[in-house]
């Protein structure tokens, strides 16, 4: 190869390698490293697409109850295991009908279509199962707020998340909330 052609091609090779590196960084930035779930930015885009296609979808907002106490009692590694288990259980529940994400901390979000109240009850039961960790059974409690997109006056992701958030805090405010959930209207 002639040296002039080589000199002209080197910047192109460098640019292509750098573009690949940036694409990889962008893809990994849209995934939470602990749970493997999509982060807010990556989740929102896919969730909006899903609700446009399925106006009867359910939008869920989840919060691990007493997460600080769990970390203080069993250690941060156990807290990480609880977050990973919650993510895995939510992902299984969503299946091919939906998408799960981690908003941050101990908050998770999901959108799914073709799901019913019975399916949500099964999810809550799954989320409440104790976690086997380091020879112990760690209790897990998760508050779940649900919004049915079809029940909202404006069918937007923002409104559905707001309704699911209100439903979740209603669940958190109830005595004996463990294992309960609310469908927002």
- Residue-by-residue pLDDT tens, the chain, 185 positions: 677 776 676 666 666 665 554 444 545 457 899 999 999 989 999 999 999 999 999 999 999 999 999 999 999 999 999 999 999 999 999 999 899 999 999 999 999 998 887 899 999 999 999 999 999 999 999 999 999 999 999 999 999 999 999 999 998 887 554 544 444 43
Residues 6+ apart with CB under 8 A from 87: 32, 34, 35, 36, 37, 100, 102, 108
Other C-beta atoms within 10 Å of 172: how many? 13
Q: Tokens 């910047």 appear where?
A: 11
How many helices (H) and strands (E) in the chain? 6, 7
pTM value?
0.79
Neighbours of 90 (CB within 10 A): 27
* pLDDT on residue 182: 45
Q: Taking a C-beta distance cutoff of 8 angstroms, is the pair 105, 67 a contact?
A: yes
Give CA 170 to chain center in angstroms: 20
Give the C-alpha separation, 58 to 120, whole Å.
Answer: 9
pLDDT of residue 183: 47
Q: Is the sign of the CA dihedral 91, 97, 101, 106 positive or negative?
A: negative
Residue 172 is predicted with a pLDDT of 85
> Would you call 86 helix, strand, or coil by DSSP?
helix
């Amino acid at each position: 190869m002639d040296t002039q052609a080589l000199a002209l091609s080197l910047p192109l090779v460098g640019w292509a390698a750098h573009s690949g590196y940036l694409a990889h960084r962008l893809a990994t930035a849209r995934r939470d490293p602990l749970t493997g779930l999509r982060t807010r930015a990556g989740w929102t885009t896919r969730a909006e697409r899903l609700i446009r296609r399925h106006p009867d979808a359910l939008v869920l907002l989840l919060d691990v109850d007493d997460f600080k106490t769990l970390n203080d009692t069993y250690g941060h590694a156990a807290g990480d295991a609880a977050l990973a288990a919650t993510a895995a259980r939510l992902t299984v529940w969503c299946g091919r009908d939906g998408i799960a994400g981690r908003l941050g901390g101990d908050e998770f979000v999901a959108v799914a279509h073709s799901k019913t109240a019975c399916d949500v009850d099964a999810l809550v039961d799954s989320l409440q199962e104790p976690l086997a960790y380091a020879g112990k059974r760690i209790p897990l409690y998760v508050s779940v707020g649900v919004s049915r997109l079809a029940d909202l006056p404006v069918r937007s992701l923002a409104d559905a998340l707001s309704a699911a958030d209100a439903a979740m805090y209603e669940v958190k405010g109830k005595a004996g909330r463990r294992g309960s959930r609310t469908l927002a209207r």
